Chains A and B, each alone.
Chain A
Amino acid sequence: MTQAELLSPKGMLVKELAQEIRTLQTAQRPQGLYVSSGSEPMDRCLPWGGYAAGSLLELTCSKKPRTAGWGGLSLALRIAKPWLENGKYLVIVDSHRRLCAPSLVAMNIPLERLIVIRTQNATDWVWGLDQVLRSPAVGALISPVTELGDRSARRLQLAVEQGGGVGIFLRDQGSAKRNPSWAEVQWLVQSVTTRPSSQTPILMERWFDLELLRAPGLQTTRRVRLGIDAQGEWKHCDERKASKSTEHLAAQLALATPRRPNVAAS
């Protein structure tokens, strides 16, 4: 829709109707409660400077990975962390029994407030997620998603609105396009292979290109490059550039080391 169309009576009506639909859809949600992701560039992309309490979020990867390793779980854990600070619980769906405890501890995830659930079929999965999202004790839920029907997706959205936490779904782009989604925010995640810098050891920080595909009021696609460092904290592109430039500046300003006399030769 062009600017002129938006300002026309028809456009205004569409806008009003969209607003009404949105109000109806999120009537049950705790109003005005938004939690920062902890990363300023990511928050800047989001309409309210954070994720809304009682909403669903999807992290998608571009192609269906045969073996996962695209970093979605690490990103989800980092996004979920601020939701656990008030003593709420984190629930992870791990049907394949793959979760590795040392890495969670290294990312400062409180294991005493972690509940891992395993489901054996789609019915149990939807039921389990519904119960988890509906509970006020749960701050964040992380679950992989393969197929999700329209009614189930809506059921989960209503549940998370009641619970007031956040549900983070990990899925591939194909599944996200094929199936309807009631997620408020959808990111496309691409893991980036960066050249190792002199300051950080090789493979000790990981960078991602995130493309915001869906958010309320989103007009154009927004992109951000974010990293997670060895302490499990966010790292931003600016920081990386700043650290590099500092290094270069320091190198320029440093006093030249006097050449040592060649004792052996004398």
Chain B
Amino acid sequence: MTATQAKSVAGTSPQMQWDWIEHEPQEDIEEIYSLAERLMQFSPMVGVEPIEKNLWAGRSILQPQSILMDITGLESWYSGETAMAQQIQKWLTDEGLFGCIGVADSVGQAWAVSNYTFRKQIHQAMLSIERAEHSLQEAFHHNQRICIVDHAANHKRFSPLPIESLRLDIETVAKLHRLGIRTIESLEALPRASLTSRFGSRLLDRIDQCLLARPEPISVRSVGESMEVCLDFEHPIFQLEQLQETLQECVYQLCRKLDSVSHGAWRLVVRLALETPIMQVQETAPRAIPSHVIQLGLFQSSNEPTHLLWLIHGCLERNPPQLSKNLGIKQVLVQAPWTSAMRWKQNPLFDCQTLKYRDEAAKLIDGLTSRLGRNQVVGLSVVQDPIPERQSKFKPLTGIRNDGSQQSTEKKLRKKPSQDFQNTRSVVPGTQAAWSRPTQLLVNPTPIKVQCDSTGTPSAVEFPIDTGLQTIAQCVGPERIESSWWSGPTLRRSYFKVALESGTWWWIFQDLTTKDWFLHGLFH
């Protein structure tokens, strides 16, 4: 959904409050991988679509947006593929999600039908919301969006679909559009030999993957059942001390398994199955209670049992299971759903100091994350954007990478900061001077009162909670900053750097639209 569509949908309901929120790609990645993990209840083979270097036509962001699931042989458990797809869609709806499902013989076919069969239907649903014919719930949840391609169906089934459904890059699609080829049907009419010479072999691969159902591997997140340790108790346990002993046993077993295949865990999941003792359960009440789940993302893959145990204990301290005499732990399951090979980089020729402390830093980050939470331990980077509040980007240091594959490990270990081996400056010096931007930027600019002289330069400032006017000793400005027209509502500001008589330095601005003054930054 584009921002304009979202705005029009939000505008249909006067009660609905809406606001512009910056898109967080990392949140999307986390969510889709988390969803893939949860979908493993339907099939053990669940993966996320592999993204390529270039953006596919029809997509606006270079991020995985589809989940792939191998259901071979599983449909009999659900009385057929249709029933299984319906059950998955019901589950998605219950989770508050909106999804389109395609079932086919190959990844290419399923991807094409799930991504492009329902586009018109979704567009019409959006229009009906804009026209206030249906509510958001009604428009999206009363129709089934399941497309099942029969085994016997020939490739004519895909003919009306647009060529974007073949997962082609933008350049190829643009070239084909210039030739007037917009559907798979018209693409099929072209001789295959000429396609390779004009568009490269990738186009033929994509056609075969879709029309001839050429198989493709699914990059499954889980390494299988072997990377988990499960302990059942005959009688539920009620003491946390007992639990810690059990956890220790499980983690040591898991680490031995990981070590035997030279793997390390990127992610750990601990499930504590809670249960009420049989004697105390009432006939009407259900005996099963949702498990207590601990999920951990690591900064660097690890198979050290002491380190993993320390992280789990940190989580248990922060969020312990509520045990009582009526509620005990029946089963402990420790899983490593995402592992990677513990391959280490050869020492560089020059002494790279950053790598020297990386292992220690990784342990520290994991420990802090397990106790404080993932979003509380972050890294900082600079974003090229004229608006000051968008120039700093905080990103959690642990969690899932963009591609979600094992390559991240190598990539991260291979990454070496420039010039670090010389122990000189490890970053390129900023083009701006040290005092041109404040060290701290307020999340929400605070309104202030400002007195200006005849030239429009601030001469005195009053902070709402302080009493009295403070004289400005020195002032530099204005520095005009405006936002781009394509990035939300236009912001037009005049910034001034002011030094008060008290010695404090502030970064203030005047909103040129409302003429109000705000305190935005502190030279702390």
Which residues of A pack against B, CB within 8 Å?
A: 65-74, 77, 84-89, 96-120, 124, 127-128, 131-132, 135-138, 190-193, 196, 201-206, 228-232
Contacts and interface: CB of A to CB of B under 8 A. Distances in A.
Interface of B: 352-358, 360-361, 363-365, 367-368, 371-372, 375-383, 388, 391-394, 397, 417, 420, 423, 425-427, 429-430, 432-443, 446, 463, 465-466, 473-476, 497, 499-501, 503-506, 519, 521-524
B439 A73 contact: yes
Contact of A87 (B357, B504, B523): B357
B437 A100 contact: yes
Nearest to A125: B372
Contact of B524 (A66, A69, A97): A69
A99 B380 contact: yes
Given A68-B522, A89-B357, A96 B364 contact: no
Nearest to A209: B503
A231 to B, nearest CB: 6
A205 to B, nearest CB: 7
Contacts of B436: 103, 106, 204, 230
Contacts, number: 224
23 contacts: A74-B523, A87-B420, A96-B440, A99-B380, A101-B381, A101-B383, A103-B436, A106-B436, A108-B425, A108-B430, A111-B379, A113-B426, A114-B379, A114-B380, A119-B372, A135-B364, A137-B357, A193-B473, A193-B500, A203-B474, A203-B499, A206-B435, A229-B434
Contact of B427 (A67, A99, A108): A108
A77 B439 contact: yes
A203 B505 contact: yes
A107 B440 contact: no
- Of B393, B439, B463, B473, most A-chain CB atoms within 10 Å: B439
Given A89-B361, A127-B371, A204-B433, A102 B391 contact: yes
A61 to B, nearest CB: 9
A72 B417 contact: no
A137 B437 contact: no
B426 A69 contact: no
B368 A117 contact: yes
A228 B433 CA distance: 11
A88 B357 contact: yes
Given A100-B440, A136-B360, A67 B522 contact: yes
Nearest to B415: A112
B429 A101 contact: no
A107 B434 contact: yes
Contacts of A114: 379-380
A135 B427 contact: no
Given A66-B466, A69-B505, A115 B521 contact: no
A79 B433 CA distance: 18
B439 A101 contact: no
Nearest to B436: A106
A203 B391 contact: no
B112 to A, nearest CB: 41
Contacts of B393: 101
Contacts of A98: 440-443, 522
A143 B502 CA distance: 23
B435 A230 contact: yes
A191 B524 CA distance: 10
A99 B392 contact: yes
A188 B415 CA distance: 41
B368 to A, nearest CB: 6
Contacts of B352: 87
B440 A68 contact: yes
Nearest to B378: A116
Contacts of A77: 439
The list of the 3 closest CB pairs from A to B, nearest first, reads A87-B353, A191-B503, A69-B504
Nearest to A228: B434
B361 A115 contact: yes
Contacts of A70: 503-504, 524
A136 B443 contact: no
Given A87-B354, A96-B440, A118-B378, 10 more contacts: A72-B524, A97-B394, A115-B397, A118-B372, A119-B372, A128-B372, A136-B360, A137-B357, A230-B433, A231-B434
B474 A204 contact: no
Nearest to B359: A137
B435 A203 contact: yes
Given A101-B380, A114-B380, A193-B501, A132 B524 contact: no
A103 B443 contact: no
A66 B433 contact: no
A119 B376 contact: yes
A119 B475 CA distance: 35
B431 to A, nearest CB: 8
Contact of A106 (B379, B437, B463, B504): B437
Contacts of A231: 429, 433-434
Contacts of B500: 69, 193
B426 to A, nearest CB: 4
